[in-house]
Amino acid sequence: MAKNDLVTASQMRAMEKRAMDANEVSGLTLMERAGRGVVSAILHKWPGGQATFAQAVVLCGPGNNGGDGYVIARLLKEAGWNVLVFVLGTPTSSSPDALANRQLWDGLGSVSPLSEALDLPAGQTLLIDALFGTGLTRPVALPMDAWAAIVRKAGGAVVAVDIPSGLCSDSGRVIGEQALQADLTVTFHKRKLGHFLAEGPATCGSLVCSDIGLRTDDWDEPLCRLIDRPDRNRILKSTGHKFSYGHALVLSGGAGKSGAARLSAMGALRIGAGLVTIGAAKSSLSEIAQAITSLMLTEIDDARDLGETLQDPRYSSLCLGPGLGFERARTLVPAALTSKRPTVLDADALSAFADAPDDLLSGLHEDCILTPHGGEFARLFPDIAAKLSEAATSGPAYSKVDAARDAAKTAGCMVLLKGPDTVIAAPDGRAAICASVYENTAPWLATAGSGDVLTGFICGLWARRGDLFESACDAAWLHAECARTFGPGLIAEDIPAMIPRVLKELGPQ
């Protein structure tokens, strides 16, 4: 299990159970470690502690999340804080560790019904949400917005234990209509998918993962991971000539529509393909020739031209879609797929088949990747998209990772579903998230043409014939890192230009 693996609620429960069944740790010890982790994160974020807040208000639910809350209340009380505890129900025999920690708290302070939490004493409050945690399965019918408004009006803050109440830890979606907006979320052992998907990042505030001493060895189920800094040696070859770095072919549209393909081609070249050729319609040859220098150019007017071009085995990857046009896409995509080269399909190469998605899906092979945004995804996979767009009324809710995995299985190839929480999935169940959220936010990527550059990045790395899934993950991370490095004011042309700096700063692992 790698440090960036993300887990579901059920996987986390299984990891805890495995450790307890093996007598490696007790549930009480895990709960104590979790509570200490939350207190440590609080003091790190607000070093003034009780001098900053007039009181700590802990909201405890009936389960193990509430048990964590009683530990936090006890530790803060012992450290000199003014602590108030409000409870929803009482721990039962199904949560013996929570019940034990409730009894420890009873020796230090009182508890009040949760209904009285709207009548807080005046003063700056640190509200600690230990109500439901990762096991939430139903909507929360509590005045959470009112609590948050009271706290923030007095300059206070909200801390969520594991995940904000009301948020699905598997999908990042709000179950029902509301979740408690946190300023800090402290989770344990491994971060959860919901911390990075959908509404998760906006609801969690900042995110801290606290070690509670569980093993991190191999796990039988396929895990989703958070994409991080790539392996430098995988990106930067030290020897070879241009043909050993691969030859990418990017198909362009007709006259006046070649800009998107030129962005993709420059992305492929900058990221490390040895050669990149634009295959252009006859009508656009002149305009492209006047706009390029390092890129090569060849005429590909129809499927026959493409077939003849691909008789050259040195073309090692293909990119079709950006600015291609629907008519050219319907002609060239089937011809490209018959070559069985690693192929990136985006934009028009996807939308051209909106009326008959099976015409596209039936021709795909395992060395393809589809890179749709949400609208394109819905046109290709309407049933899957409909399931994802349904209101989340119970948990665990269907997630973007679920959708990408189902689409990859349906298509028989990789799928990269774009967004701030970009998900990459393969038919064998591998999945990864490239999340431009929290401290890694990159809002400047919401600019015309940025997706065309990402397509080029994938095609450029695929030209080199490494592991295709890992190369797609690397391309997504590098794409976002270019935007983060450049900062505000970014336009699509700036992204390939940032690659030399990003690669130089990649550094050793």
pLDDT at 379: 96
CA angle 404, 406, 412 (to 5 degrees): 95
CB-CB contact of 265 with 295 (8 Å):
yes
Given the DSSP bridges, would you call strands 224-226 and 247-251 parallel, antiparallel or unpaired? unpaired
Q: What is the pLDDT of residue 120?
A: 87
> Residue written as tokens 């019940």?
99
Query: What's residue 89's pLDDT?
Result: 85
Residue with tokens 């080199």: 464
pLDDT in tens, the chain (509 residues): 688 999 999 999 999 999 999 999 999 999 999 999 999 999 999 998 888 999 999 999 999 999 999 999 999 999 999 999 999 987 776 689 999 999 999 989 999 999 999 998 888 999 999 999 998 999 999 999 999 999 999 899 999 999 999 999 999 999 999 999 999 999 999 999 999 999 999 999 999 999 999 987 766 777 899 999 998 888 876 656 666 789 999 999 999 999 999 999 999 999 999 999 999 999 999 999 999 999 999 999 999 999 999 999 999 999 999 999 999 999 999 999 999 999 999 999 999 999 999 999 999 999 999 999 999 999 999 999 999 999 999 999 999 999 999 999 999 999 999 999 999 999 999 999 999 999 999 999 999 999 999 999 999 999 998 899 999 999 999 999 999 999 999 999 999 999 999 999 987 65
Decide if 200 contacts 397 (C-beta within 8 A).
Answer: no
**Which sign does the torsion angle of CA 442, 448, 452, 457 carry?**
negative
Q: How much is the pTM?
A: 0.95
Q: How far apart are CA 36 and CA 218, in angstroms?
A: 27
Q: What is the CA radius of gyration of the chain?
A: 26
Q: Determine the pLDDT at residue 240.
A: 65
φ/ψ bin of 249: left (φ > 0), alpha (ψ from -120 to 50), beta (otherwise):
beta
Map residue 433 onto helix, strand or coil: strand
The answer to whether residues 172 and 421 touch, using CB atoms and an 8 Å cutoff, is yes
Q: What is the pLDDT of residue 2?
A: 80
pLDDT at 50: 83
CA distance linking residue 461 with residue 160, whole number of Å: 40
Tokens of 194: 């919901």
